[in-house]
Amino acid sequence: MNSMRRSIGRVIRAVGIRRRHSHGHAFIDEAETLALSDGWKDPRLPNRQRRVYDRALDNMRSGNSPRSFQVAAASTRLSGISEPSILEIGSGSGYYSEVFSHMVSAQVSYVGLDYSLAMVSLAKEKYGPSSRFCVGDATRLPFRSGSFDVAFSGGVLLHVRDFRRAIAETRRVARYWAVFHVIPCVVSSNTSFVKKTAYGVEVIEVIFNQGELCSAFEECGLRVRERYVLEAYPVGLIQENAYLLTFACEVVPLAPSATVYRPAKGP
Ligand X SMILES: C[S@@+](CC[C@H](N)C(=O)[O-])C[C@H]1O[C@@H](n2cnc3c(N)ncnc32)[C@H](O)[C@@H]1O
Neighbours of 162 (CB within 10 A): 19
Q: Minimum distance from CB of 166 to ligand X (Å)?
A: 7
Strand pairing partners for 196? 203
> Which of the ranges 155-163, 206-214, 216-224, 232-240 carries the binding residues for ligand X, by CB under 6 A?
155-163
Q: Minimum distance from CB of 22 to ligand X (Å)?
A: 8
Which residues within the stretch 162-191 sit at the binding site for ligand X (CB under 6 A)?
Answer: 181-182
Name the residue nearer to ligand X (CB basis): 8 or 28: 28
Q: Rule CB under 6 A: is residue 153 a binding residue for ligand X?
A: no
User: How big is the site for ligand X, counted in residues (CB under 6 A)?
Assistant: 18
Name the residue nearer to ligand X (CB basis): 90 or 267: 90
Q: Which of 156, 168, 235, 244 binds ligand X (CB under 6 A)?
A: 156
Which residues within the stretch 93-152 sit at the binding site for ligand X (CB under 6 A)?
Answer: 96, 114-116, 119, 137-138
Q: Rule CB under 6 A: is residue 208 a binding residue for ligand X?
A: no
Q: Which of 154, 184, 221, 267 binds ligand X (CB under 6 A)?
A: 154
Name the residue nearer to ligand X (CB basis): 7 or 22: 22
Which H, E and C letters describe the chain, residue by residue? CHHHHHHHHHHHHHHHHHHHHEEEEEECCHHHHHHHCCHHHCCCHHHHHHHHHHHHHHHHHCCCCCHHHHHHHHHHHCCCCCCCEEEEECCCCCHHHHHHHHHCCCCCEEEEEECCHHHHHHHHHHHCCCCCEEECECCECCCCCCCEEEEEEECCHHHCCCHHHHHHHHHHHEEEEEEEEEEEEECCCCCEEEEEEECCEEEEEEEEEHHHHHHHHHHCCEEEEEEEEEEECCCCCCCCCCEEEEEEEEECCCCHHHCCCCCCCCC
- 204 vs 52, 92, 93, 138, CA distance in Å? 21, 16, 19, 15
Query: What x/- string results for residues 19 through 58 when contact with ligand X is judged by CB under 6 A?
Result: ---------------------x------------------
> Which of the ranges 90-98, 168-176, 184-192, 250-258 carries the binding residues for ligand X, by CB under 6 A?
90-98
Q: Which of 66, 84, 155, 221 binds ligand X (CB under 6 A)?
A: 155
Q: Rule CB under 6 A: is residue 91 a binding residue for ligand X?
A: yes
Q: Which of 86, 103, 160, 216 binds ligand X (CB under 6 A)?
A: 160
Residues that bind ligand X (CB under 6 A): 40, 90-92, 96, 114-116, 119, 137-138, 154-156, 159-160, 181-182
